[in-house]
Amino acid sequence: MATAIPTRPFGRHADVRVSALGFGGHHLGDAADEATAVRLVREAIDAGVTFFDNCWEYHRGKSEIWMGKALEGRRDEVFLMTKACTHGREARLGLEMLEQSLRRLRTDHLDLWQIHGVCFENDPALFIRPNGAAEALRKAKDDGKVRFVGFTGHKDPAIHLAMLDTGFPFDAVQMPLNPFDASFKSFERQVLPALAARGIAALGMKPFVGKGEAVQAGTLSAEEALRYAMSLPVATTITGIDKPEVLAQNVGIAQGLAPMSDAEMDALRARCRADAADGRFELYKLSLKYDNPEARTAHGFPIDRQQAEVKELLTATENTGHPFPPSDG
């Protein structure tokens, strides 16, 4: 008999609790079809998942639309997060994206709204400038359209720390957390303590280290990877779910989770350290090729349309490279 997925306090808002396993919205758009996606979301709720992640630009809105359909009649059972893709642009654009996200998700409010993809060195300055996205977060909260606000990024702990240094009162911050991270440009070592000091809810992502190459290479098992991430001082660990077997695997690990001991975590970090030190397993921190073409375009950075990864992304998302406005979902 399976036990429940544990819940955890949401940062300084300790009366709010979220499931220790979070349902990643990008992979939901990779599900075989809408019916599968709807079933995955509802089965996850039945299994005790309450934290649902999404983003305005995932699959050109498909991820939000499918999740919105799945949550019909069950919206109150979940803690719903989506992200705005301002990528350095102004508050007004963020608020337009919010309205679109709310329509797609079939709700009048979000539990958490985050700035997506904070990855460039000038993002903190662009965020906090007059008319920057910080003002959208404030206004959305004042208008009661979002309960909490935050930001996310996968690139560099220094950029996360610079965002915190803007002084903006974030409720949540999302980042890659896994046993490789501990030894390479580490969010765990640099950002987690800063969040704890400020009472900000930490949201982990990429528990399987990028696309799971280290698991495939046999350095660690999927269970070790997910247990490690969930044993850190985080509110939730977001992981992508696109198939019933992936849902079953992750729910199985999360139900009745026994956190790793400090010694177990140390041993796993040590096992991964030699492979982690040049960052080749965490390319999202390193390579320009892993930058989101939408974000690069919005910043005025060139994209290489001949690059395989860019071609893939442009095709997969029917993305023109010009981020807004798209057709409404």
Partner 1 sequence: MADATVPHRPLGTTGLTVSALGLGGYHLGSADSQTQAAEIVARAMDAGVNFFDNAWEYHDGKAEAWLGAALKGMRDRAVVMTKVCTHGRGKDVAMRMLEESLRRLRTDHVDVWQVHEVIYESDPDLIFAPNGVAEALTLAKSQGKARCVGFTGHKDPSIHLRVLAHDFPFDTVQMPLNCLDATFRSFETQVLPEAARRGVAVLGMKSMGGSGEIVKHGAATPAEALRYAMSLPVATTISGVESPDRLAQNLAVARGFTPMSPDEMQALRERCRPLAADGRAELFKTTKLYDAAIGRAQHHFPPPEELPL
Give the residues lining the site for partner 1 (CB under 8 A). 120-122, 156, 158, 183-185, 273-274, 276-280, 283, 286-289, 291, 296, 299-302
Q: In this complex, which beta carbon is closest to partner 1, that of residue 161 or of residue 246?
A: 161
Name the CA dihedral angle for 241, 243, 248, 249, rounded to a multiple of 10 degrees: -70
- To partner 1, the closest distance from the beta carbon of 323 in angstroms equals 16
How far apart (Å, rounded) are the C-alpha atoms in residues 206 and 239? 7
How far apart (Å, rounded) are the C-alpha atoms in residues 45 and 18? 12
Q: In this complex, which beta carbon is closest to partner 1, that of residue 113 or of residue 180?
A: 180
How far apart (Å, rounded) are the C-alpha atoms in residues 193 and 182? 13
- To partner 1, the closest distance from the beta carbon of 283 in angstroms equals 7
How far apart (Å, rounded) are the C-alpha atoms in residues 207 and 188? 12
- To partner 1, the closest distance from the beta carbon of 209 in angstroms equals 15
122: left (phi over 0), alpha (psi -120 to 50) or beta: alpha
Place of tokens 């060195």: 121
Q: In this complex, which beta carbon is closest to partner 1, that of residue 144 or of residue 300?
A: 300
Q: In this complex, which beta carbon is closest to partner 1, that of residue 202 or of residue 276?
A: 276
- To partner 1, the closest distance from the beta carbon of 43 in angstroms equals 35
Q: In this complex, which beta carbon is closest to partner 1, that of residue 25 or of residue 210?
A: 210
How far apart (Å, rounded) are the C-alpha atoms in residues 10 and 199? 9
- To partner 1, the closest distance from the beta carbon of 300 in angstroms equals 6
Q: Take residue 288 and report the two structure tokens written for it.
A: 């320009």
